[in-house]
Amino acid sequence: MNEDWFEVDKGELSPSETTLVNIVRESARGWPECPPGATAVLVFRADEEEDTRPPRDAYEAAWDEAFAAGQAVLTLIVDLRHRDRELVVMTLGATPAGDRLFCSERNASTYHPEPITGIESLEATGSREELGRIAADWFEEIVGRSMIEVDRRPWPRSFVPKGAPLPRGHRWVRNP
């Protein structure tokens, strides 16, 4: 079980990767309803990642460029959990590849980008420090949203503005 947010084995990341993860980790300590065990860092190396990449797009092209430069590709994962049940409601991911960052909702089993609930994806470029701050801000904005569901039905779930009244027939899932 994780003792800290986005925990990784010592020495597994390069100094620039460690800097990026540390920036996001520091931010995560203030996120509501996001315990350390709801976060992970996945590390992919060129020799490990032949058959499981997503379809050809800008995301995969960035992976190819990073691998060609001898760099690993990280994916920082946050599982948003239901407040009353240990159910993962949504999986979010931020993947820095080279000088690019891809933030999006992710498939909970493959961790590939997959638009499911309308979370707006984000693409950015910059230094590892800049990408760390961008990823931290993106995660924080989504993790802090209030989420509701219709009573006795697991779906649909939706976000509502903080402080909004609970609609009739709904209940809070996260961050009331």
For residue 133, the 8-state DSSP code is H
Q: What pLDDT digit, counting tens, does each position of 95-115 carry?
A: 998 899 999 999 888 888 887
70 vs 36 pLDDT, higher one: 36
Per-residue pLDDT band for 89 (boundaries 50, 70, 90) equals confident
Most confident by average pLDDT, 34-38, 119-123, 133-137: 133-137
The pLDDT of residue 48 is: 55
The pLDDT of residue 64 is: 83
pTM (2 d.p.): 0.86
The pLDDT of residue 138 is: 97
Q: Is the pLDDT of residue 57 over 60?
A: yes
Classify the C-alpha dihedral 15-3-36-29 as positive or negative: negative
Q: What is the largest CA-CA distance in the chain?
A: 54
- For the segment 121-130, the average pLDDT, to the nearest whole number, is 95
Contacts made by residues 60-68, CB under 8 angstroms, sequence distance 24+: 62/95, 62/97, 62/98, 62/100, 62/102, 63/97, 65/97, 65/98, 66/97, 66/98
Q: Which of 56-65, 67-76, 93-102 has the lowest mean pLDDT?
A: 56-65
